[in-house]
Amino acid sequence: MSKLAAVAKLRRIFVILWVISKYRLDEFMPRKPLPMVVRVLFIFAPWHLFRKPIMERGERLRRSLESLGPIFIKFGQILSTRRDLLPDDIADELKKLQDDVPAFPGEEALRIVEKALKKEVTSLFSSFEQEPLASASIAQVHQARFHDGRQVVVKVIRPGIEKTISQDIALLFILSTLLERYWEDGKRLHPVQIVRDYERTIYDELDLQREAANASQLRRNFLDSELIYIPEIYWDYTHKNVLVMEQIQGIPIADIAALKAAGIDMKCLAERGVEIFFTQVFRDSFFHADMHPGNIFVAEHHPENPQYIAIDFGIVGTLTPEDQNYLARNLLAFFKRDYKQVAELHISSGWVPENTRVDEFESAIRTVCEPIFERPLKDISFGQFLLRLFQTARRFNMEVQPQLVLLQKTLLNIEGLGRQLYPELDLWNTAKPYLENWMKERIAPPGVFKNIRQHLPEWLEQSPEIPKLVFDAMTQIKHLDRRSADTEKLSAAFSASQARQSSRTRNTLAGAALIGLGIYLSQPNGLELLQNTPWQATLLYACGIFLIFRRA
């Protein structure tokens, strides 16, 4: 590390301590759980030299987060949606972080746009409002108009923001390393890995071309959808630090009074938010992972059938098919109170060590869940439930899964947002039918055939390599055989069965190919010659099944 970088980091530490002292955030820290040495240090801490500000605690917290910059503002934005976890006064103040972040000068935004797009603003737009429409933690947005009259918004990255973020990330790495080394739960929670994932996420958010690509993908996924509208991206006017997209018209979802005045069906709106989340996660495996109230609007047309409008696509998440399947089965098991399956899923997926006793873990989960599920489902907070379950699983060394951090955060945001819109929202019953249908589609014959047809070209492409792989394995075994009498016997047995296995492999591959061809020919887009002769597809199925189960 260079001397300048070390000085910058030290300076940032002093800034953080100054902000904590200025707004007396020490009052938010519990003292009793701390070691005696730390409590003594608190007595002589520098914040005692500052007079307590004449403002409420929520405003003090909000102003301190604004002073500390984008990473801390992001943290406040996440907290603002969790009214079931925060007092109302703090939640109301943190909500202002969505659109009340101080702006940088419009003249600076003009210079950034002209430098990025290599043209004067007057040649790019017929008008450009220097007063920002909105100002967020990473960027701010200006209204503009194309020469053909189309209304657009221009998003511009804050100047110098990357340097500030790099300093804060470096400090987070120091803190997370200390936690992982000295905190009793540090190794299990993997704080360093979480910071590393967050570092990648926030740097991705600084690249507006990546955000534009995310928006284009989401727009294709929900093209002509009644659930959500994604604005159009104008790629010819987009750069790494400048993005131009269609200007949308809608009511901010946080403006409950305006939504009710417009006659919006609040129950339908809240339930559609849950449906959008599960559609993105399970149908598309590509979800908007920053759905706080500042990024969501509601279209005013068709208030009885409300449509969401999303912006700010810098953070998206994806799941592997294995993650999707694990998540769906876990949630359904919770819905059914099948605690044994929950325990087994946690073990098989690697959340807890494989030597964990299923019966003990099942009993611990039941102890947490039963008191919660005795209440009406609409009164159950998914956020509170996850916290209780996580605390209980500590003694089983349950580990944080970094690949699911964004998903968990998004689900908590959706629940918090839905409860603001409609306090009676039943997240569990809204999600359960969707998950059940998704699982049925995966295991039903159409879903199985679709999966086979999707992977058949890959299987056929790899099939010529199988004999060579078998031959290479046999060659290596023969070399090992010369060194051990035991391995000679093993090789002899393996050689005796290899011929039979090779024949079975050929039969299986041929059978799978025939079944796949039969599936293809039975589809409407199959070969025209065989579209009106379904008996041939049936014959191919039969031949394929016969070859697969035929003994060599």
The residue ranking higher by pLDDT, 153 or 393, is: 153
Q: Which of 280, 348, 347 is nearest to 319 (CA)?
A: 280
Indicate whether 26 belongs to any domain: yes
Alpha-helical regions (H) of 393-533:
405-421, 427-443, 445-462, 465-481, 485-522
Q: What is the mean pLDDT of the chain?
A: 75
The residue ranking higher by pLDDT, 239 or 44, is: 239
Are both 398 and 467 inside the same structural domain?
Answer: no
Pick from 51, 73, 98: which residue ends a domain? 98
Kind of pairing between the strands at 228-229 and 308-310? parallel
Question: Using 50, 70 and 90 to split pLDDT, how confident is the model at 484?
Answer: low
- Is pLDDT above 80 for 371? no
Indicate whether 151 belongs to any domain: no
Dist. CA 339–CA 361, nearest whole Å: 9
Q: What is the pLDDT of residues 111-167, one digit of tens each?
A: 999 999 999 999 999 999 999 988 877 889 999 999 999 999 999 999 888 887 887
Average pLDDT for residues 339-364, to the nearest whole number?
Answer: 84
Report the share of the chain in percent with pLDDT over 90: 21
Pick from 58, 81, 98: which residue ends a domain? 98
Strand partners, 252: 297
Report the share of the chain in percent with pLDDT over 70: 63
Are both 477 and 435 inside the same structural domain?
Answer: no
Alpha-helical regions (H) of 262-313:
266-278
Average pLDDT for residues 304-328, to the nearest whole number?
Answer: 86
Are both 459 and 419 inside the same structural domain?
Answer: no
Dist. CA 299–CA 31, nearest whole Å: 47
Domain that holds residue 542: 445-549
Indicate whether 401 belongs to any domain: yes
Indicate whether 27 belongs to any domain: yes
Say if residues 138 and 161 touch (Cβ distance below 8 Å).
Answer: yes
Dist. CA 387–CA 364, nearest whole Å: 14
Are both 315 and 432 inside the same structural domain?
Answer: yes
Are both 276 and 415 inside the same structural domain?
Answer: yes
Say if residues 342 and 366 touch (Cβ distance below 8 Å).
Answer: no
Residue with tokens 């704080």: 191
Pick from 98, 123, 147: which residue ends a domain? 98
Does the reported pTM lie above 0.75? no
Are both 449 and 434 inside the same structural domain?
Answer: no
Total domain count, the chain: 4
Are both 422 and 451 inside the same structural domain?
Answer: no
Dist. CA 405–CA 412, nearest whole Å: 11
Mark residue 128 as left, alpha or beta (left: phi above 0; alpha: psi -120 to 50; beta: remaining): beta
Q: State the helix-helix crossing angle for 485-522 and 445-462, rounded to 10 degrees.
A: 120
The residue ranking higher by pLDDT, 334 or 457, is: 334
Q: Is 290 a residue of the active site?
A: yes
Q: Which of 53, 57, 121 is nearest to 92 (CA)?
A: 57
pLDDT at 410: 76
Average pLDDT for residues 463-471, to the nearest whole number?
Answer: 59
Indicate whether 131 belongs to any domain: no
HSE-up of 295 (CA within 13 Å, CB side)?
23
Average pLDDT for residues 35-42, to the nearest whole number?
Answer: 63
Indicate whether 45 belongs to any domain: yes
Are both 284 and 425 inside the same structural domain?
Answer: yes
pLDDT at 544: 52
pLDDT at 246: 95
For 250-302, the three-class secondary structure string (H helix, E strand, C coil) is CEECCCHHHHHHCCCCHHHHHHHHHHHHHHHHHHHCEEECCCCHHHEEECCCC
DSSP class per residue in 36-76: HHHHHHHHT-GGGGSPPPSS-HHHHHHHHHHHH-HHHHHHH
The residue ranking higher by pLDDT, 265 or 345, is: 265
Indicate whether 472 belongs to any domain: yes
Dist. CA 386–CA 412, nearest whole Å: 10
The residue ranking higher by pLDDT, 83 or 395, is: 395
Are both 366 and 411 inside the same structural domain?
Answer: yes
The residue ranking higher by pLDDT, 529 or 154, is: 154
Are both 391 and 281 inside the same structural domain?
Answer: yes
Dist. CA 520–CA 522, nearest whole Å: 5
Choose the catalytic residue: 168, 290, 312, 426: 290
Are both 333 and 414 inside the same structural domain?
Answer: yes
Q: What is the pLDDT of residues 83-92, one digit of tens each?
A: 555 677 887 7
How far, CA to CA in Å, does 434 sit from each of 165, 319, 378, 399, 428? 39, 17, 17, 28, 10
Are both 456 and 425 inside the same structural domain?
Answer: no
Indicate whether 402 belongs to any domain: yes
Dist. CA 141–CA 407, nearest whole Å: 27
